[in-house]
Amino acid sequence: MILRSSWSLVACRLAACTLWVAVVASASAATWYPELKLESRYDDNVLHTTRGSDDFVGVVTPGLALASHEPVTSYELAGRTGFTSYTRTGIKSSRLDEAWLDLSHKPDYTTSVDVHARYLQSLDPIDFSRGAVTSRHNVTAASANATFDLHWIGAAGELTRWDYAAGDLADGNSVDGTGRLFPLNTRDNRVALAVRHRELRIRDLVSLEADYETAAYRRHHTETLWSEVEAGRVAIQFHDGSANEVKPAVALRAGRTGGTERAPTTLRLEVANDVATTFDADVSHSGAGRFADIELQTSVDADGGIYHVATLDRRASLAARDTLPTGQVIDVMGSFGRIRPLRGSNPKVDVWRASIGFSMPLGPYLSGRAGWDFLRQDAPVGQAAADFDRNRYSIALTSGLR
């Protein structure tokens, strides 16, 4: 049972009904956007071994999107599937599936509905940005959230899931669901009552369960500055023979938006103490074809692989994108993560990631991209099997109506 409250069921039904009504109402204004991507790669370590296993890889990725950008209802529903073929390593052809939904429905200034969902599945863990990657096997990540702002009241629901099938090693699976009710939801003040359930599984056995009941108060001090305090309780079961724990769950959050409407700069901070003490921070800037984001993130997870217990992941990342006057786009990304057992000291894994891409238009419906992706893992204490470097070089052509 993911959420032990009827709030989540109500939120899911409202989301489904609202999505159906909004899509049907604006179907006449929707536009289909097909695309086809052809990509050639060279990978110096496909199998994540210490000595390397290089290969030339071909990828064909068809995609299709349905989008509408009306003043009242705006949405995009899209998906793509990448078929990957290997030349030297004898790996079976693999597939990457990706789908997403973004919906915004604002019939008047007092009512709004926002729905977002993401799904990504791949047999190559370099396509993901979280956790330790200790073997090449199937990975799936999915998330969905919905927010309903009505006159004076509101509700929200959020669900994330992560599955890592690690072959002969330990499989990892995590589910995190939250339901919120806003009995007071005005322009300046918001009161939230929330329930949350987290469940982490390693080797198909429950490693950790946590159930939260909290209340929160958010205050908008100005048009651009807000703060929030949340407090309640969390019941924790580690399923390792140790006694269950009931402890306070406390979180402090703050955010600020600066700059201009066309080029905003946002800042978000969060400090929380429940299953573990976590600190999250995010600074982003966008506008005029440019984007930059710096993020610090902490999460309790079920990485699997060499881990047989829940883990604490701390990650710092930087991403930036710039569009040149001639239409070319340069994007860069880098991150460093430290993964440690939530209880205990070993094994320890450090994960480095980086990427650089250069895109340019080649015609009305054709664009090209050259890129480099890097993944490195270090296991400072034992577990040498988790050590590897990997470089992926790629050239791609994409044909589409957008």
Domains (range + CATH), the chain: 6-400 (2.40.160)
The pLDDT confidence band at residue 88, using thresholds 50, 70 and 90, is confident
Mean pLDDT, the chain, integer? 88
Would you state the pLDDT for residue 385? 64
Share of the chain above pLDDT 90, in %: 65
What are the pLDDT digits (tens) for 106-165? 998 889 999 999 999 998 888 888 788 877 888 999 999 999 998 889 999 999 999 998
What are the pLDDT digits (tens) for 201-217? 999 899 999 999 999 99
The pLDDT confidence band at residue 185, using thresholds 50, 70 and 90, is very high
In angstroms, the Cα distances linking 299 to 236, 238, 280, 342 are 16, 16, 9, 10
What are the pLDDT digits (tens) for 26-81? 445 789 999 999 999 999 998 887 677 899 999 999 999 999 999 899 999 999 99
pLDDT(319) > 90: yes
HEC per residue, 131-153: CCCCCCCCEEEEEEEEEEECCEE
DSSP 324: -
Would you state the pLDDT for residue 141? 93
User: Is residue 159 within 8 Å of residue 2, measured between CB atoms?
Assistant: yes
Would you state the pLDDT for residue 362? 94
Closest CA to 177 of 371, 386, 8, 357: 8
The pLDDT confidence band at residue 178, using thresholds 50, 70 and 90, is very high
- 257-275 burial, b for 16+ CB within 10 Å, e for fewer? eeeeeeeebbbbbbebebb
The H or E element containing residue 15 is helix 6-25
Closest CA to 333 of 350, 367, 358, 357: 357
Q: Which residue has the higher pLDDT, 325 or 259?
A: 325
**Collapsed DSSP state (helix, strand, coil) of residue 89:** coil
Closest CA to 34 of 2, 59, 64, 79: 64
CA distance 218 to 150: 17
**In one letter, which amino acid is 38?**
L
Would you state the pLDDT for residue 257? 92
Q: Please state the rounded mean pLDDT for residues 232-250.
A: 91
In angstroms, the Cα distances linking 146 to 20, 79, 101, 391 are 14, 20, 11, 37
Residue 142 neighbours by CB under 8 Å, 6+ apart: 117, 118, 119, 120, 160, 161
pLDDT(352) > 60: yes
